[in-house]
């Protein structure tokens, strides 16, 4: 590792060697012990590199191949699946100094930026042009463009604007062979498979995203907030099915059971629906009126106007609290030996209520309680957060919950990626032929297996 550092410094690339006692900030992201995760391997030292350009990333990749040292691309470290944590002595490629906005093109509705810029910084720059991003996750203040693309993240406005995949027009990627790939960034192309799509959701195992061309949108003329309560989850979910059935898509949607304390997963509880609609004024008025008619016809009782406005205003606060605990180093002590974990599965809309019942039975059998349960952005996206003390059962139960989603035609994760948390489930997710195909792509692009090994099951 010392020779690697010397080689990098010869090219004036900023880097430092961290020994065992100083690895803390890079050892964990949001995948922590309180989620039933037990780390089996850990590095003894890391070389942290802070590239300032694509050319510097190219040099890093060349030397990584030469010295056979793995590279772990790092963004805001807000991931929840261990996608940016090292499993052995590695190069931590901290991209946060590559944070420039290179070009804003309002007429073309696009922005060109480096991968290390945070979403909040980019959105602030766009706002000066009357534009905004379509991606607004809970970690917006900390998450980077590159990390969001690498996990195909989803934010609060995904009901209308879609996941990060839909924001990407083009990418610049340094491949594991140190070649630089730049894709075209037009809206439509019928010239074979999309090369940019190959790297969206790839978690750094196929290359390092250095620049992105993203869609941008005009700041909306009008924004309306709606809040409703239902006596049961099923009644409210029927309203969401009706909205979906007539093609009404709000900009933001969140629907969940009202739980004031950890609760029985077999119970049925009052549920709250948050909806936000934005766009040109006439469109917002028409959509809001029709949504209200359908929801109220299905039994929804309107909340006061304060609740949905407060929900929207405070939507990013949980990330601030999480990062404060991370910086103080007490995040793991908060839960002690207890388990706090969550799943985010995508299902056919017709299977959501069945999955809610089946997953509740699994949680109850393993003596876990729920602290949050509902759908996010789309009725098909079902999430559960749960707590318990049965640490020995936690991983086995997680796999049963995900296998149940698979059995109903669903996907095991809709917004946070795979990382190491779900790596051993990839063959179940894609099928054996599908996973073998992904493995062959990985082997061809990364013959030395230097790019983020252990993630996505590779």
pLDDT attached to residue 328: 61
How far is residue 331 from each of residues 33, 338, 344, 398, measured CA to CA in Å? 10, 13, 22, 22
Query: Which of these, 125, 134, 145, 151, lies nearest to 212 by C-alpha position?
Result: 145
Sequence-distant (6+) residues with CB within 8 A of 367 are: 388, 389, 390, 393
End-to-end Cα distance, the chain: 24
Query: Which of these, 270, 394, 379, 404, lies nearest to 342 by C-alpha position?
Result: 394
Binned at pLDDT 50, 70 and 90, residue 343 comes out as very high
In terms of phi and psi (left: phi > 0; alpha: psi -120 to 50; beta: otherwise), the region of 454 is left
What is the number of other CB atoms lying within 10 angstroms of the CB of residue 114?
26
The string of pLDDT tens digits covering residues 186-221 is: 989 999 999 999 999 999 999 999 999 999 999 999
pLDDT surpasses 90 at 391: no
How much is the average pLDDT of 103-130?
A: 98
pLDDT surpasses 80 at 231: yes
pLDDT attached to residue 332: 67
Binned at pLDDT 50, 70 and 90, residue 37 comes out as confident
Distance CA 183, CA 197 (A): 10
How much is the average pLDDT of 323-328?
A: 69
pLDDT attached to residue 35: 84
pLDDT attached to residue 272: 98
Cβ contact 17:47 at 8 Å: yes
Question: In the chain, what percentage of residues exceed pLDDT 70?
Answer: 97
pLDDT attached to residue 392: 80
pLDDT surpasses 80 at 327: no
How much is the average pLDDT of 370-392?
A: 93
Binned at pLDDT 50, 70 and 90, residue 24 comes out as confident
Q: Which residue has the tokens 């190069």?
A: 91
pTM: 0.95
Distance CA 267, CA 257 (A): 10
Binned at pLDDT 50, 70 and 90, residue 230 comes out as very high
Binned at pLDDT 50, 70 and 90, residue 63 comes out as very high
pLDDT surpasses 80 at 326: no
Q: Residue 177: which H helix or E strand, with range? A: none
Average model confidence (pLDDT) across the chain: 95
Question: CA 246, 169, 139: angle at the middle one, nearest 5?
Answer: 75
Distance CA 417, CA 297 (A): 37
pLDDT attached to residue 331: 67
pLDDT surpasses 70 at 121: yes
pLDDT surpasses 70 at 256: yes
pLDDT attached to residue 31: 84
In the beta sheet, which residues pair with residue 105? 110
pLDDT surpasses 80 at 451: yes
pLDDT surpasses 70 at 408: yes
Cβ contact 144:119 at 8 Å: yes
Among 23-27, 304-308, 444-448, where is mean pLDDT lowest? 23-27
- The token duo for 394 is 């936690």
User: CATH classification of 222-407 is 3.40.50.980, yes or no?
Assistant: no
How far is residue 276 from each of residues 119, 159, 228, 290, 296, measured CA to CA in Å? 21, 10, 12, 13, 16
pLDDT attached to residue 330: 65
Distance CA 156, CA 135 (A): 7
Greater model confidence, 323 or 148: 148
At how many degrees (to 10) do helices 233-245 and 281-297 cross? 140
The string of pLDDT tens digits covering residues 287-321 is: 999 999 999 999 999 999 999 999 999 999 988 88
How much is the average pLDDT of 27-31?
A: 84
Distance CA 286, CA 272 (A): 23
Distance CA 234, CA 125 (A): 42
Q: Where in the chain is the domain with CATH 3.40.462.40?
A: 222-407
pLDDT attached to residue 389: 87
Q: Where in the chain is the domain with CATH 3.30.465.10?
A: 99-218
pLDDT attached to residue 119: 98
User: CATH classification of 99-218 is 3.30.465.10, yes or no?
Assistant: yes
pLDDT attached to residue 334: 67
- The token duo for 317 is 């606060």
Distance CA 37, CA 404 (A): 21
> In 103-194, which residue ranges form alpha helices assigned H by DSSP?
119-127, 145-151, 158-161
- CATH architecture of the domain formed by 2-96: 2-Layer Sandwich (3.30)
Binned at pLDDT 50, 70 and 90, residue 222 comes out as very high
pLDDT surpasses 80 at 449: yes
pLDDT attached to residue 421: 94
pLDDT attached to residue 321: 82
């Amino acid at each position: 590792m010392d020779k690697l550092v010397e080689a990098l410094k010869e090219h004036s690339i900023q880097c430092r060697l961290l020994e065992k006692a100083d690895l803390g900030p890079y050892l964990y992201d949001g995948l922590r012990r309180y989620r039933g995760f037990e780390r089996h391997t850990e590095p003894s030292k890391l070389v942290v590199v802070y590239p300032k350009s694509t050319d510097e990333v190219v040099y890093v990749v060349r030397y990584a191949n030469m010295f056979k040292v793995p590279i772990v691309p790092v963004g805001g470290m807000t991931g929840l699946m261990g996608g940016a944590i090292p499993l052995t002595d590695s190069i931590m490629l901290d991209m946060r100094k590559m944070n420039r906005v290179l070009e804003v093109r309002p007429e073309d509705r696009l922005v060109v930026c480096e991968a290390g810029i945070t979403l909040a910084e980019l959105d602030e720059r766009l706002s000066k042009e009357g534009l905004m991003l379509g991606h607004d996750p809970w970690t917006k203040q900390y998450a980077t463009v590159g990390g969001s693309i690498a996990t195909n993240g989803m934010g609060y406005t995904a009901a209308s604007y879609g996941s990060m995949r839909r924001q990407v027009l083009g990418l610049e990627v340094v491949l594991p062979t140190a070649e630089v790939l730049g894709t075209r960034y037009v809206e439509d192309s019928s010239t074979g498979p999309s090369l940019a799509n190959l790297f969206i959701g790839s978690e750094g195992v196929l290359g390092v995203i250095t620049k992105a061309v993203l869609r941008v949108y005009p700041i909306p003329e009008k924004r309306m907030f709606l809040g409703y309560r239902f006596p049961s989850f099923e009644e409210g979910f029927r309203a969401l099915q009706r909205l979906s059935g007539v093609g009404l898509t709000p900009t933001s949607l969140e629907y969940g059971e009202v739980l004031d304390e950890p609760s029985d997963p077999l119970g049925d509880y009052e549920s709250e629906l948050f909806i936000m609609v934005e766009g040109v004024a006439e469109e917002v008025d028409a959509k809001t009126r029709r949504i209200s008619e359908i929801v109220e016809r299905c039994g929804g009782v309107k909340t006061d106007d304060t609740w949905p406005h407060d929900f929207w205003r405070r939507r990013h606060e949980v990330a601030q609290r999480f990062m404060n605990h991370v910086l103080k180093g007490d995040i793991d002590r908060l839960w002690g030996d207890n388990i706090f974990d969550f799943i985010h599965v995508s299902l056919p809309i017709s299977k959501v209520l069945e999955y809610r019942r089946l997953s509740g039975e699994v949680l109850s059998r393993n003596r876990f309680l729920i602290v949050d349960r509902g759908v996010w952005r789309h009725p098909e996206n079902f999430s559960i957060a749960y707590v318990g003390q049965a640490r020995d059962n936690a991983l086995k139960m997680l796999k049963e919950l995900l296998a149940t989603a698979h059995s109903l035609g669903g996907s095991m994760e809709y917004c946070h990626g795979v990382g190491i948390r779900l790596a051993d489930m990839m063959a179940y997710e894609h099928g054996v032929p599908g996973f073998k195909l992904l493995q062959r792509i990985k082997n061809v692009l990364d013959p030395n297996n230097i790019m983020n090994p252990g993630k996505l099951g590779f």
